[in-house]
């Protein structure tokens, strides 16, 4: 997977349009389209902004195949949780089964 394919892949994984991504990156949509088609390449500063936008490193943008990631809907769900809600969810998912296991083994 080359850079152009990766840029398109990451955008589609997030279920975002070129218009939305270009607005977030403050660039013309046509420029993003050219990058995704391999007609041009972003400069280093823009690569840094893109990698931060997608939560990757610049090196990740050039890796093939892309790393397995948590689906966007699930990732966005966890990002929106505050620390208290994350703690409760962690306890429910990991703490209670560990406690039950400990009681059964004793």
Which tens digit of pLDDT belongs to each residue from 71-93?
777 777 877 888 888 888 888 88
93 vs 68, 87, 97, 100, CA distance in Å? Answer: 22, 10, 7, 12
Strands (E), the chain: none
Which tens digit of pLDDT belongs to each residue from 2-36?
899 999 999 998 899 999 999 999 999 999 999 99
Please give the model's pTM, rounded to 2 decimal places: 0.60
Our CA angle for 27, 47, 15, nearest 5°, is: 65
What are phi and psi for residue 17, nearest 5 degrees? -85, 165
Question: What would the two tokens of residue 24 be?
Answer: 């977030």
């Amino acid at each position: 997977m080359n850079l152009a394919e990766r840029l398109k892949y990451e955008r589609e994984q997030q279920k975002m349009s070129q218009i939305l991504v270009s607005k977030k990156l403050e660039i013309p949509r046509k420029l993003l389209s050219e990058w995704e088609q391999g007609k041009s390449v972003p400069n280093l500063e823009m690569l840094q902004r893109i990698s931060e936008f997608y939560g990757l490193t610049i090196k990740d943008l050039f890796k093939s195949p892309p790393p397995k990631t948590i689906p966007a809907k699930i990732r966005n769900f966890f990002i929106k949780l505050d620390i208290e809600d994350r703690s409760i969810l962690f306890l429910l998912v990991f703490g209670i089964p560990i406690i039950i296991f400990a009681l059964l083994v004793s």
